[in-house]
Amino acid sequence: MLYAMDALFRYCLLQVPGLLFLIALLGLALHRGWIGVATASLVVGLWLLKDVLLYRFYRPSLEDGPRVATELLLGQRGEVIRTLSPVGLAWIGGESWTVRMPDDTTLEVGRQVRVVAASGLTLIVEPEGEPGVTPGAVAEH
């Protein structure tokens, strides 16, 4: 619940400047006699209703989550497409990524790897399974 309140608090803070601007404009219009108090109240009410109705669409973007795309790839598996010694390329999540081993290990093309961490836009991977064997594959005899 506290997590949802954090997103709601952020949303409310984002609405404050627009609401203050609206109130300033309505105050000017009231002062000049262009509108009445009832009209100004209706406009503010509709503005607040708009904010309430749009919150559900904005909420996902306001909630905490992965800050960068590389965090979404943690735990994903891929295949080495350029030898890692210790830096190379791997095909992970449908894209080619710069990857490196946490140590000086060399991995040849075709080896399966798993993402264990990220450093900027470089993924840190560990080998998975035997060379040329896809995890979960059944060996033929």
Q: How far is CA 36 from CA 27, 29, 31, 39, in A?
A: 10, 8, 9, 5
Give mean pLDDT, residues 74-90.
93
Mean pLDDT score of the chain:
85
The Cα 90–Cα 97 span in angstroms is 5
- Tens-digit pLDDT profile for residues 93-104: 899 999 999 888
Q: Give the global pTM.
A: 0.49
Q: What is the dihedral of CA 125, 126, 132, 137, to 10 degrees?
A: -100
Confidence at 65, pLDDT banded by 50, 70, 90:
low
| Residue 82 clears pLDDT 80, i.e. is over it | yes
Q: What is the pLDDT of residues 12-39, one digit of tens each?
A: 999 999 999 999 999 999 999 999 999 9
Grade residue 61 by pLDDT with cuts at 50, 70 and 90. Answer: confident
